[in-house]
A and B are shown apart, each in its own frame.
Chain A
């Protein structure tokens, strides 16, 4: 698809109010837990208190005897004989022979009220035979570690590794030893990051209705209702299209709502009870038993000449993603060195199972950990060689035509532009206060296209409705409306965008991979163009001229060429008003799996003050600079930059999953799992760089994920500079920083 090279945008680049704004400031918007059905039951889930145990017996008789209890489901109520990822998904949804982590679901109950369901869940008697457990990635790979499941490893794993290592990757090019020999300085460091949670404020919630005939309806908060449909159908043994899934308004997801946890249990309870069943997770359940991100243990070695050219780089990345295969070591390895031109580079990745919940995607899954290690080593090289960290990055930065560290050549990308903007930003040269350090880091996310289907229909008054399949998580309905308005030439207010259910469109992948504005936007533009073709045909028929002699501009058909001026232009409203008698409804539709998604680079500058007495770190100034290709709604682009930075600040400084010796999660409430609050953060300055993406008609690049990649290393470098100690372990909580200041190490 060719870029329009359009620069005279009328609507794109403006900042109108969002279409869902009114509902969201008045409490009318309906989220996952806000649906009700006549005769509805409430569900609750029985969860394991053990990190690893064999289920000896489940006795639900006392629960079923409780007044108001209508059904109890266990693994026997789900599809049998599943294999591969479907089996993993079912096993994570509801345990089979063993529970694999603290909080693992064992049974579901449905009752006439939420309080009775909760009481009934406590009455389900489960007998366990407790087994040895392991929750740390390095410990899980060590000889003698408890084995979670034999035979889970795939063919990629070399002989001799622990059975908990389930996938392995190794790739690279050049001669890294020769590269290191040519360097003036070589730095090698080991790093560790803890698992963190996406921390969406809305807990998972759904309302399910499933008949014994296999036909069902599901309302849920999800980033992708077609994914939910496929997964639920597989786990319950249904035909996918017999299940209609409607996405509610969604209260945050950040990747964590791209899979299922409770929806299949609610459907099974509904099938068994014959009633609609509502199921809502508590925050403790969200933290224990949804899909936090992986934790990582990493070794990175890089060499640099004294004039700042990288000569070689190697990285080993060990990631645990819970009790199933799937830690994002593929993305970590692929993207670790993605900012730099490297002739000599080698990567090794390990996917390791532990007694923790099955990890799910979290904003740029896998990328922030690798960036933390690589950008920290890059910073230390600059420090050791006395180089400016932006100048040194500019010497190595990838650009159009560079062969990436993971293979393919880059198309037009904006890393250099973000670095130059960072250097020119007043923040970079502002004086620093005492005990304050400044960190710089860059990061990348390659973005995604994916299966996409969009329908557009012209209303009888000339307004336009657009049906998309990507749930609106941060303002995408406004972005689609702007693109449709721009394409058709009608006011933004004349377009209404709806997120429609799975019965209304072909398969749509979720709002993930920073794809919605890119892919649903591209399909919206193409659907609008198709409708414009039909509008022009109606005008041509009316005028009795060839359609090729009709030009569409500013929301109206105009005779052009030899017919120019022969007829008065026909507006979209005039054509639409007659469409019943001129051939019927006028619509546009576009299906695609577009591959021209352009990746987005970002560079962050951060100042962090460290209290030398307490070790507490405070972010005092933060600037995000990122390539958006073309910002459709700049406020929402800036919002993504700010949100990514804030989540990165939490990951770097505060947030971590803390498992006790007993394998139980010790911080399963927001009091103890502390995400940044308003008083922790400064205003977050943003600079939008626009290097158009040739793969989108208006140059869009996805922007949602890149923003969480640079904060980890940028903040770690700032704390390192403030304290004089290189920080290699996250989170940089006050006790850990204090130990570093006192010379007692960083672990």
Chain B
């Protein structure tokens, strides 16, 4: 057991963890932040995506100990300070960018990382960026639309042809 300390969604946290504890397990089991979902444990599905020091990371592919001293943002930290939804969250809700919703936290975190680097992504940019986040319900159609809308672009301009 080792003491692991980090800042999660702006709050300092510290807890004991076995060396083999994954960051996803630490967030979910130790801190109770169950919005970070685990769909595959092998880094393909992206449901566990969080931000570590501002970078998008699949938290099942990182040990909690590796995040010692880091600044972590999870889906629970994505709302505005007054509790209202962030722009990406609001767009996912408004544009029905989810069906079962299990991939949604990871999608929102991945989208936030994209828009931080590329505020006006094309459809192709969005699809390329999301290629490490699996959704089985939507065919990605409304997810792409939601991210387009969150970036302030015209959703109607994305044609099916």
Point out residues on A near B: beta carbons under 8 Å: 15, 17-18, 20-31, 33-34, 36, 114-115, 198-203, 249-254, 282-283, 426-427, 430, 473-475, 621-623, 635-636, 639, 642-643, 645-647, 669-671, 675-679, 681-685
Name the residue of chain A whose CB is nearest to the CB of B94: A17
Contact in complex: A678, B42 (CB < 8 Å) = no
Q: How many Å from the CB of A277 to the closest CB on chain B? A: 15
Q: Which residues of A contact B132 (CB under 8 A)?
A: 677
Chain B residue contacts of A646, Cβ below 8 A: 136, 138-140
| Known contacts A251-B100, A671-B44, A683-B158; is-contact A17 B37 (Cβ 8 Å) | no
Q: Is the CB of A675 within 8 A of B79?
A: no
CB pair B131–A679 under 8 Å, yes or no, is yes
Q: Which residue of B lies closest to A280 (CB)?
A: B38
Which one, A114, A474, A622, A683, contacts B137 given CB within 8 A? A474
Q: Is the CB of B137 within 8 A of A252?
A: yes
Complex: chain B residue closest to A205, CB-CB: B38
Which B residue sits closest to A648, measured CB to CB? Answer: B139
Task: State whether the Cβ of B141 lies closer than 8 Å to any Cβ in chain A.
Answer: yes
Taking CB atoms, residues of chain B closer than 8 Å to A670 are 40, 42, 44-45, 134
- Please tell me which one of the listed residues A199, A250, A251, A642 contacts residue B139 in the complex, with CB atoms under 8 A apart: A642
Q: Is A683 within 8 A of B79, CB to CB?
A: no
How far does the alpha carbon of A685 sit from the alpha carbon of B20 in the complex, in Å?
Answer: 46
Contact in complex: A677, B130 (CB < 8 Å): yes
Which residues on the A side are within 8 Å of B151 (C-beta)?
none
Q: Residue on B with the closest CB to A27?
A: B35
Most buried by B among A24, A33, A683: A24
Find out whether the CB atom of B47 lies under 8 angstroms from the CB atom of A201.
yes
Q: Which residues of chain B have a CB within 8 Å of any CB of chain A? A: 18, 20-21, 25, 28-29, 32-42, 44-45, 47, 74-76, 78-79, 85, 89-90, 92-94, 96, 98-105, 108, 123-124, 126-128, 130-144, 158-161
Q: Point out which of A21, A647, A681 has the most chain B C-beta atoms below 10 A from its C-beta.
A: A21
Question: Known contacts A27-B76, A677-B131: does B41 contact A282 (CB below 8 Å)?
Answer: yes
**Do residues A682 and B45 form an inter-chain contact, with CB atoms below 8 A?**
no
- Are A678 and B126 closer than 8 Å at their CB atoms? yes
- In the assembled complex, the Cα of A18 lies from the Cα of B96 at a distance in Å of 8
> DSSP majority for the B interface?
loop
| Contact among A20, A622, A669 for B101, CB-based, below 8 A | A20
Would you call B102 and A25 a contact (CB within 8 A)?
Answer: no
**CB distance A200 to B136 under 8 Å?**
yes
Alpha-carbon distance between A26 and B75 when the two chains are bound, in angstroms: 6
User: Complex formed: what's the CA distance from A645 to B136 in Å?
Assistant: 11
CB pair B75–A642 under 8 Å, yes or no, is no
Contacts of A636 in B (CB 8 A): 96, 99
**Contact B102 A202, beta carbon cutoff 8 Å:** yes
User: A283 to B41, Cβ gap below 8 A?
Assistant: yes
Closest Cβ–Cβ distance, residue B14 to chain A (whole Å) = 19
- CA of A642 to CA of B101, assembled, Å: 16
Q: How far is the CB of A252 from chain B (nearest CB, A)?
A: 5
Knowing A639-B99, A670-B44, the reply to whether A25 touches B136 (Cβ < 8 A) is no
Pick from A31, A34, A201: contact of B134, CB below 8 A.
A201
Distance in angstroms between the alpha carbons of A199 and B47 in the assembled complex: 14
Residues of chain A with a CB closer than 8 A to B141's CB: 639, 642, 683-684
Q: Is A681 a contact of B139 with CB atoms below 8 Å?
A: yes
Provide the bound-state CA to CA distance between A646 and B29, in Å: 33
Of B34, B92, B131, which contacts A27 at CB under 8 A? B34
- A200, B100: Cβ atoms closer than 8 Å: yes
Residues of A within 8 A of B18 (CB): 115
Residue numbers in B under 8 Å from A198 (CB-CB): 136
Q: Are B104 and A24 in contact (CB under 8 A)?
A: yes
- CB < 8 Å: which of B85, B108, B135, B159 contacts A683? B159
5 smallest beta-carbon distances between A and B, as pairs: A27-B35, A251-B102, A646-B139, A24-B101, A685-B160
